[in-house]
Amino acid sequence: MSDQRYIRLDVAYRGTNYCGWQRQGAYPTVQGEIEAALHRIVGNPVVIRGSSRTDTGVHALHQVATFYTSATIPAEHFAPALNANLPQDIRILRSAKIAQDFDPIGNCTRKRYCYLIDDMPVLSPFLIGAVWDYRFGMLDAEAMHVAAQAFLGEHDFVSFQSEGSPRRSTVRTIFDVSVHRRTMPLPFGSLTTFSENEQQVIVLEVEGNGFLYKMVRTMVGTLMAVGCGKRPVDEIAEIIAAKDRCTAGITAPPQGLYLASITF
């Protein structure tokens, strides 16, 4: 493909209206929308390759995708051209020419996800579809954070994997994990000056060298059980050691999950 240029796209999207990232026939997907827009711009079919396959309803603050093209459009112009042809819930943050040996999957060394849980008495209408709307009482974020530290390091995370595409190895390394309560800024927060009315969410952030199918959502579902007092804080290590999906908690819903960043 020496006669073609290799283009990198940095992408953000709200996954609510899509059946995930990966193209799936007639179903709406983020990859499908971008490829259709590229087809309209360059006049021929284009296949893009993304760094991560987000599931139905999952969002991305920073996804990376690449494609080859023989079109003469300057690389940096693909971003505005695509944004003019894409739905508003998919945005190209930037576009640039990149070396042809760049592999958006193979060169990825770390991925960071965040997950938002709203356990306040009333859900802000601005957060619908953007958080896990948890309505069973306030969660203990501090206990969830303490429990989450057991995820750190290299482990076999098969207990946190849902059935899906088989993986050669279920061993992954978690570099950083935290759970904390955060006050949301306007317009998501309160319109009053009373601090007790501020809109708050619980934020889980986790960074690793890779993640199994629905692994982050199962981690969240298990930590939720800790936060509501149904599981002890020190049980996570036992669940990891069991290597049995039945020992972990529920799979948290997709709408609270965000692909936050990718490191190469």
18 belongs to a structural domain = yes
Q: How confident is the model at residue 149 (pLDDT cuts 50, 70, 90)?
A: very high
Is residue 145 domain-shared with residue 178, that is, in the same domain?
Answer: yes
- For 217-259, the pLDDT digits (tens) are 999 999 999 999 999 999 999 999 999 999 999 999 999 999 9
If we measure between CA atoms, which residue out of 106, 105, 84 comes closest to residue 38?
84
Is residue 47 domain-shared with residue 129, that is, in the same domain?
Answer: no
d(CA 143, CA 147): 6
* pLDDT for res 188: 72
If we measure between CA atoms, which residue out of 135, 117, 154, 93 comes closest to residue 257?
117
d(CA 14, CA 100): 29
- For 96-126, the pLDDT digits (tens) are 999 999 999 999 999 999 999 999 988 888 8
d(CA 104, CA 21): 14
Mean predicted confidence (pLDDT) in 63-89: 97
Is residue 82 domain-shared with residue 203, that is, in the same domain?
Answer: no
Longest dimension (CA), the chain: 62
For all residues of the chain together, what is the average pLDDT?
Answer: 94
* pLDDT for res 192: 53
* pLDDT for res 190: 60
pLDDT above 90 (res 63): yes
Is residue 205 domain-shared with residue 164, that is, in the same domain?
Answer: yes
* pLDDT for res 44: 96
50 belongs to a structural domain = yes
- pTM for the model: 0.94
* pLDDT for res 195: 52
Q: How many domains are contained in the chain?
A: 2
Is residue 56 domain-shared with residue 126, that is, in the same domain?
Answer: no
Range of the domain at 156: 110-263
- For 158-208, the pLDDT digits (tens) are 999 998 667 789 999 999 999 999 988 767 766 555 455 577 899 999 999
Whether the Cβ atoms of residue 14 and residue 59 lie closer than 8 Å to each other:
yes
d(CA 119, CA 80): 38
104 belongs to a structural domain = no
Q: Which of 69, 97, 125 is the last residue of a domain?
A: 97
- For 27-37, the pLDDT digits (tens) are 999 999 999 99
29 belongs to a structural domain = yes
Is residue 38 domain-shared with residue 86, that is, in the same domain?
Answer: yes
Residues identified as active-site: 55
